[in-house]
Structure 1
Amino acid sequence: MILQAKNQLTLQEFLNLPPGEGDITYELVDGQASPKMSPKKFHSKLTRALLNLLEQCCEGKGEVCPELAVALTRRGRDWMPIPDILYISNERLPPDWDQEGACSVPPDLVIEIISPGQTFGQMAAKAKDYLDAKVLRVWVLDTGLWTKRLEKSSQCYC
Structure 2
Amino acid sequence: MTSTLAPLVSAEAFWEMTHSDKKLELIRGEVRESMTPGGLHGGFSLGIGALLRTFARSTGGYAGVKAGFLLERNPDVVRLPDVSFVCAERIPETGVPETFWTQAPDVAVEVISPSELADDIQNKVTLYLLAGTQQVWTVYPRQKILIIHTADNLARTLHIGDTLQGSGVLEGFQTPVSAFFEL
Mark yes or no: TM-score above 0.5.
Answer: yes
Work out the CA distance in 2 between the residues paired with 1:97 and 1:64: 13
SS at match of 2:72: strand
Contact 1:69 1:82 in 2 (8 A): yes
Contact 2:15 2:99 in 1 (8 A): no
Report how many residues are paired: 144
Aligned alpha-carbon RMSD (Å): 2.6
1:8-87 equivalences in 2 (<5 Å): 8-17=8-17, 19-20=19-20, 23-61=21-59, 62-73=61-72, 77-87=75-85
Cα distance, 1:19 vs. partner? 2.9
The match for 2:115 among 114, 117, 133 is 117
SS at match of 2:102: coil
Task: Give the unaligned 5+ runs of structure 2.
Answer: 146-158, 161-180
- Identical-pair percentage: 22
Cα distance, 1:100 vs. partner? 1.7
Change beyond 3 A, Cα 1:96–1:120: same
Task: Give the unaligned 5+ runs of structure 1.
Answer: 151-156
- When normalised by structure 2's length, the TM-score is 0.69
Work out the CA distance in 1 between the residues paired with 2:14 and 2:43: 30
Contact 1:94 1:105 in 2 (8 A): no
User: C-alpha deviations, 1:84-138, integer Å up to 9, x for none?
Assistant: 0000011011112453211122211000111232123311221011000111111
Work out the CA distance in 1 between the residues paired with 2:18 and 2:63: 26
1:101 aligns with 2:132: no
Contact 2:18 2:24 in 1 (8 A): no
